[in-house]
């Protein structure tokens, strides 16, 4: 027989073009071998009837945080199961030394092999890591991480060093677990950029897929506004948290990051989870000022679906904050206009008992930041995007193709011959209501609870093997592979 698997009668959504095409999909040795109508079922060992569903390229969720609030050994299993439920086939996780994650400092030469060892044979989807250089030693290790471990993307948390993960903090050095002679500040950010650019120059054949991502918020502004907002009795919940981390804090951080990128001649910059009109406008202004810098702009499904009036209240606390409705609508306008490059989940499973102890319910300041949502990324985008006139091809670009190309996943992101046979079969006319109790995630709640969606992932395939079916859940043992990037 010519093929291992034939998926019949689907409507193929590719990231390019302006339409979908009725077709069959033949898979051999984990890759797409042929995409065409009328492929003979007798040519395949196994046949899966697609029933006219949409076939999207497997989602590249380029912003996840496996292992942040629970041990990586647990999160890798449960949260990748949630990813498979949402049509995600590639999970790229931000990781660092310091508190949370493995709760230790030290060089990545010692730290990262432990991460890889813990991860092995636990993910149900393919996985990789972005790493954050937290001190001078880490900067010097960037070329080693690129060459030896295939880490092609790095991160700066711009507010760390002077402001806490969950709010104002005076103990950031202990949180970051860096030596007394190290500082996590603008100078460090500059040196990180120079380190990434040095690696790009050392590996010119990989340079276009070696990049730096930045969480853009300004610590000093957030600290000052937090003091003001905490004293303002008229502000509560998500509205208070948004006001304590104001939109212009994001915009200013984008300006600073962009100028440092210009100063250090680093052209591959990713501006993460832009949450507001001011942040997006700042990013677009910087693209005009520095046209030689290849800026990419990210948005999360949480910032597209939730606003400060969400009944989830403190369960939806995240950095940057959930914003007022006018910011949400601006994000959608920017996405539809092609001004935002990819959509992610920023999935950080924070179980209820960790998110906020029961005695602090209703107190936004005592809640931890972050929540999961990778399982709702694709169906929510298809549901809400369709309502707003977003084309399926555009959805495939921002969930698969563009992040795959940026982060060095050269066999991912499209349904075409030679690519990894990753795909999600989606019913665009299946109405259902989000219930945390139906998710494989161990979080136990979701800020998306009760939202009605009009699209559902019916099946997910990873390199030609089915890893999820709506009526059966996640299928089989973990078979995710580590993504050494850039891939061939």
What would the pLDDT profile of 392-424 be if each residue is shown by its tens digit? 999 999 999 999 999 999 999 999 999 999 999
Of 452, 424, 445, 468, the closest CA to residue 370 belongs to 445
- Mean of the pLDDT values across residues 240-265? 98
**What domains does the chain contain, in order, with CATH numbers?**
3-49 (2.30.40.10), 58-409+432-450 (3.20.20.140)
pLDDT digits (tens, 9 = 90+) for 46-97: 999 999 999 999 999 999 999 999 999 999 999 999 999 999 999 999 999 9
Residue linked to tokens 């690519």: 419
pLDDT tens per residue, range 233-244: 999 999 999 999
pLDDT of residue 488: 84
pLDDT value of residue 40: 97
DSSP three-state, residue 305: helix
Q: In whole angstroms, what separates CA 390 from the centre of its chain? A: 20
Q: Is the pLDDT of residue 172 over 90?
A: no
**How many Å apart are CA 7 and CA 26, to the nearest integer?**
6
3-state secondary structure labels for all residues of 163-199: CCCCCCCCCHHHHHCCCCCCCCCHHHHHHHHHHHHHH
The helix-helix angle for 237-244 and 219-230 (nearest 10°) equals: 140
How far is Cα 480 from Cα 458, in angstroms, rounded to an integer?
20
Distance of CA 372 to the CA centre of its chain: 11
pLDDT tens, 323-356?
999 999 999 999 999 999 999 999 999 998 899 9
Query: What digits encode the pLDDT tens for the residues 354-397?
Result: 999 888 888 999 999 999 999 999 999 999 999 999 999 999 99
**DSSP letter for each residue of 465-488:** EEEEETTTEE-SS----B--SS--
Strand partners, 212: 154, 269
To the nearest 10 degrees (0 to 180), the angle between helices 186-202 and 247-264 is 40
Count of Cβ atoms closer than 10 Å to residue 19 Cβ? 11
CA-CA-CA-CA dihedral for 314, 320, 322, 328, to nearest 10: -170
Query: In this structure, how many other beta carbons lie within 10 angstroms of the beta carbon of residue 263?
Result: 11
CA atoms of 61 and 393, how far apart (whole Å): 17
CB atoms within 10 A of CB 361: 12
CA dist., res. 112 & res. 129, Å (int): 10
- Phi–psi pair at 102, nearest 5 degrees: -85, -5
Quote the mean pLDDT of the chain.
Answer: 96
351 burial type by CB count under 10 A (0-12 exposed, 13-18 middle, 19+ buried): middle
Enter the DSSP assignment of 314.
G
- Per-residue confidence (pLDDT) for residue 165, from 0 to 100: 82
DSSP labels, 328-392? HHHHHHHHHTT-S-EEE--B----HHHH--GGGTT-GGGSPS----GGGHHHHHHHHHHHTT--H
The one-character DSSP state at 420 is B
For position 359, what pLDDT does the model report?
83
Written as six digits, the tokens of 280 are: 């997006």
Supply the pLDDT for residue 173: 75
* Residue 276 vs residues 137, 304, 331: alpha-carbon distances, Å: 34, 10, 7
Q: Which residues are bridge partners to 453 per DSSP?
A: 432
The percentage of residues in the chain with a pLDDT greater than 90, rounded to a whole number, is: 93
DSSP assignment of 65-99 equals: -TTSSS-HHHHHHHHHHHHHHTTEEEEEEEE-SBT
Q: How far apart are CA 268 and CA 208, in angstroms?
A: 7
Distance CA 144, CA 393 (A): 37
3-state DSSP assignment of residue 409 = coil
DSSP β-bridge partners for residue 26: 6, 34
pLDDT above 70 covers a percentage of the chain that reads 100
State both tokens at 315.
Answer: 């369960």
Give the position of tokens 């369960």. 315
User: How far is Cα 163 from Cα 245, in angstroms, rounded to an integer?
Assistant: 11
What's the pLDDT score for residue 404?
A: 98
- In eight-state DSSP terms, residue 400 is I
How many contiguous H segments (helices) and E segments (strands) does the chain have?
16, 19
If pLDDT is split at 50, 70 and 90, which confidence band does 170 have?
Answer: low
């Amino acid at each position: 027989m010519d093929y291992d698997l034939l998926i019949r009668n689907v409507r193929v959504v590719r990231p390019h073009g302006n339409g979908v095409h009725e077709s069959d999909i033949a898979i051999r040795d984990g890759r797409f071998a042929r995409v065409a109508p009328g492929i003979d079922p007798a040519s395949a060992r196994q046949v899966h009837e697609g029933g006219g569903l949409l076939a999207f390229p497997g989602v590249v969720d380029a912003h996840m945080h496996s292992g942040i609030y629970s041990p990586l050994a647990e999160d890798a299993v449960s949260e990748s199961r949630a990813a498979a439920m949402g049509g995600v086939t590639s999970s790229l996780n931000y990781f660092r030394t310091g508190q949370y994650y493995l709760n230790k400092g030290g060089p990545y030469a010692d730290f990262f092999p432990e991460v890889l060892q813990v991860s092995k044979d636990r993910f149900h989807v393919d996985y990789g890591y972005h790493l954050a250089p937290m001190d001078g030693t880490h900067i010097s290790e960037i070329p080693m991480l690129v060459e030896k471990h295939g880490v092609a993307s790095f991160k700066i948390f711009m507010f760390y060093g002077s402001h806490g993960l969950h709010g104002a903090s005076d103990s950031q050095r202990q949180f970051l677990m860096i030596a007394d002679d190290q500082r996590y500040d603008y100078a460090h950010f500059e040196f990180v950029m120079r380190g990434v650019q040095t690696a790009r120059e050392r590996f010119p054949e990989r340079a276009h897929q070696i990049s730096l991502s930045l969480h853009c918020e300004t610590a000093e502004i957030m600290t000052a506004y937090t003091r003001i907002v905490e004293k303002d009795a008229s502000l509560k919940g998500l509205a208070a948290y948004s006001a304590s981390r104001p939109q212009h804090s994001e915009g200013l951080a984008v300006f600073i990051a962009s100028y440092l990128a210009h100063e250090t001649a680093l052209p591959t910059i990713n501006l993460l989870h832009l949450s507001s009109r001011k942040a997006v406008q700042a990013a677009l202004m910087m693209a005009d000022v520095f046209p030689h810098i290849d800026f990419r702009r990210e948005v999360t499904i949480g910032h597209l679906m939730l606003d400060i009036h969400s009944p989830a209240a403190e369960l939806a606390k995240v950095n940057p904050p959930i914003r007022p409705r006018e910011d949400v609508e601006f994000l959608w306008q920017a996405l539809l206009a092609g001004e935002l490059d990819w959509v992610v989940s920023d999935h950080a499973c924070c179980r209820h008992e960790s998110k906020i102890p029961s005695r602090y319910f209703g107190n936004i300041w005592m809640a931890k930041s972050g929540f999961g949502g990778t399982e709702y990324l694709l169906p929510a985008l298809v549901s809400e995007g369709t309502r707003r006139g977003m084309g399926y091809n555009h959805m495939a670009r921002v969930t698969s193709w563009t992040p795959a190309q940026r982060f060095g996943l050269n066999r991912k992101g499209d349904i075409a011959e030679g690519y990894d046979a990753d795909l999600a079969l989606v019913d665009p006319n299946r109405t259902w209501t989000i219930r945390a109790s139906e998710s494989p995630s161990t979080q136990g709640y979701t800020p998306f609870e009760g939202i009605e969606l009009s699209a559902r992932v019916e099946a997910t395939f990873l390199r030609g093997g089915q890893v999820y079916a709506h009526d059966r859940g996640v299928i089989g043992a973990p078979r995710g592979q580590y993504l050494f990037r850039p891939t061939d």
